[in-house]
Amino acid sequence: MTPLPTDQHAFNYSPWYFWRDAGPEAQSDQIALQQDLSERLGYRFGDQCFVSVLAAVENDDLAFGDRTYVAAGAYLSGSLQAGRDCTINAYAVVRGQIRLGDAVRIGAHTSILGFNHTFSDPDTEVFRQPVWSRGITIGDDVWIGSHVVILDGVTVGDRAVIAAGAIVTKDVPAGAVVGGNPARVMRWRVPQPVPAASDLAAFADRAREQTSALLNRSWDPDSRMFTDRPGAPLTDPARSIRAQCDAVEIADLLLGRAPDQLPVEEQIQRLRAPQDLDLFDGADSYHVLCAGYALDLLGSEFPEPIRFLSTATPQEIAAGLRKLPWDGGAWHGGHIVDGLGTALHWNLRKGEPPQDGVIETLFGWLQLNADPRTGMWGEGAPDTGLLEIVNGFYRASRGTYAQFGRPLPYPERVIDTVLEHVRDARFFAPARQNACNVLDVAHPLWLTRHTGHRTAEVTAVAEKLLHQALGHWTDGAGFGFQTPHPSTRGLAATVPGLQGTEMWLAIIWLLADLTGTSSELGYRPRGVHRPEPAARLIPAALA
């Protein structure tokens, strides 16, 4: 049969037919083209790939898995790594730092742009200003319709679908179907793993039944003290106090009373340490949180106001805040702010307000220095992405805005930042999770839930993390700080203990509340991880 003139470019526009229907000469030419690109430019091709001679392929680096195709009119530049069975259809633009998983299909006239121009200098034309790139990552089995635009910095999860014409400016959850401008989750292609109400109730019942055994496991009768877990040393005073406080929190949460191992008055006296503390010292700052809330649950309090906060001047508070390592060390900065805010709470409860201007200085500094891009404080570190600022935000906001019920400066940006961070597999892959990192996304999402911003995505994240968390409980022992996994077997952080148990119980409540199922647990945190404000700032202090 004589080919029609309109057939001369058929494979260039429908490349998936090439290796089935093209003749030997055409296939030989395609192999030669790929060999030439490999030899001259270092490109790497799997078996039965296809690159149209009508495409513009100008990449600095390119690697294709088996059966990945580029159709006519496509424009490729930058660094592109694609898995198997990917198709870049006619007139698609794929530029910048791009990583495609397996079976990614990109519709015609779609633009995936993993770079952008800066435009910070108004006196320089934009095209003359530097280009920067965060890159775009697209997971496995993703369907991208025609005329879609995906902008730099976006991660698209596995098995997602992006509807034709969508403008994607934020991460797309795995299994989501998104569309619109800007793209929003419309429904789910893949049902999300949602714990049933009966699963939560059964978990809570099992935890309550095992609480006494769990506490006995960490009780050292010789020293009459709790350890984090059997065999943990008691030589570190800060860790020893932490274990006593964790035991108090767990017993209150699950049993509604103090631990049975020690008379309540003896527990109180052990925690009522002298209050000669420096709140810009990390250990002293944490003591105010840990011991303060444990005493509160035991019906007591510190014997005296926190003298550091009683005597500090606004200038001293401002100078101390400025010196904290917000750029690259935002967790430590947030840790100190948490201690300052909690000391303020205990002192106000005793009728001991700080010097005039201290409250305004603390909250004013936080308000002025919150980054409107992220809603948080400081900058991330190159090797840990957003981890430092997200974890630092939890600590700083917990002791101030959350503890006193004050509105956050940029709550929607907080949600955006947390949703971007939680896609980082370095910290949220099942084998990589720990109680600190998960708590530090669960609480900010809970604190900002009233905005209604990206609610479907927030709920999906909460359901996924909750489903994973419930599976980490070890009967008779509780939770380890780090999640157990075959690849982490033997690490001390995965051994169940009081710290991990106390934190994961609070995490599970926060995540369950985000999904509307917390009532099934039959408990609500009342200590350091309490969800509602612990107090209100006195009106005169804000006047």
Q: pLDDT per residue over 453-474, tens digit each?
A: 999 899 999 999 999 999 899 9
pLDDT given for residue 119 in this prediction: 81
pLDDT given for residue 286 in this prediction: 84
Q: How far apart are the first and last CA of the chain?
A: 89
Q: Pick from 499, 445, 438: which is nearest to 470 by CA?
A: 438
Burial bucket for residue 36 (CB in 10 Å: 0-12, 13-18, 19+): exposed
Average pLDDT of the residues of the chain: 91
pLDDT given for residue 123 in this prediction: 87
Q: Pick from 73, 93, 84: which is nearest to 150 by CA?
A: 93
Helix orientation angle between 237-255 and 282-297, rounded to the nearest 10 degrees: 30
> Distance (Å, rounded) from C-alpha 387 to C-alpha 107?
34
> Distance (Å, rounded) from C-alpha 223 to C-alpha 232?
13
> Distance (Å, rounded) from C-alpha 172 to C-alpha 183?
9
Measured at the alpha carbon of residue 331, what is the angle toward residues 330 and 332, in degrees to the nearest 5? Answer: 90
Mean pLDDT of 237-257: 91
Share of the chain above pLDDT 90, in %: 75
Tell me the CA distances in angstroms from 66 to 27, 101, 129, 323, 382, one per residue in order.
15, 12, 38, 54, 33
Q: Write the CATH number of the domain with boundaries 5-188.
A: 2.160.10.10
Task: Answer whether residue 121 shows pLDDT above 60.
Answer: yes
pLDDT given for residue 535 in this prediction: 87
Task: Answer whether residue 194 shows pLDDT above 90.
Answer: no
Name the residues annotated as catalytic. 117
pLDDT given for residue 3 in this prediction: 60
Two tokens at 35?
């060999």
Confidence of residue 231 (pLDDT cuts 50, 70, 90): confident
pLDDT given for residue 217 in this prediction: 96
Mean pLDDT of 497-507: 97
Task: Answer whether residue 541 shows pLDDT above 50.
Answer: no
Contact 494, 477 (CB under 8 A): no
Burial bucket for residue 33 (CB in 10 Å: 0-12, 13-18, 19+): middle
403 sits in which H/E element: helix 403-404
Task: Answer whether residue 192 shows pLDDT above 80.
Answer: no
Q: What is the pLDDT of residues 436-457, one digit of tens each?
A: 999 999 999 999 999 999 998 9
pLDDT given for residue 236 in this prediction: 66
Task: Answer whether residue 2 shows pLDDT above 60.
Answer: no
Two tokens at 97?
């730092």
Any idea which fold 197-542 has?
Glycosyltransferase (1.50.10)
Sole residue written with tokens 């003359």: 128
Two tokens at 272?
């009522």
Confidence of residue 542 (pLDDT cuts 50, 70, 90): very low
Contact 140, 123 (CB under 8 A): no
> Distance (Å, rounded) from C-alpha 281 to C-alpha 368?
24
pLDDT given for residue 461 in this prediction: 94
Task: Answer whether residue 275 shows pLDDT above 90.
Answer: no
pLDDT given for residue 237 in this prediction: 66
Bridge partners of residue 434, in order along the sequence: 482
pLDDT given for residue 330 in this prediction: 95
Tell me the CA distances in angstroms from 538 to 250, 273, 367, 541, 543, one per residue in order.
31, 27, 19, 5, 9
Confidence of residue 274 (pLDDT cuts 50, 70, 90): low
Instruction: Select the more confidently predicted residue: 323 or 231.
Output: 323
Domain ranges for the chain: 5-188, 197-542
Tell me the CA distances in angstroms from 68 to 20, 62, 85, 257, one per residue in order.
14, 12, 5, 62
Q: What is the pLDDT of residues 345-386, one digit of tens each?
A: 999 999 999 999 999 999 999 999 999 999 999 988 778 899
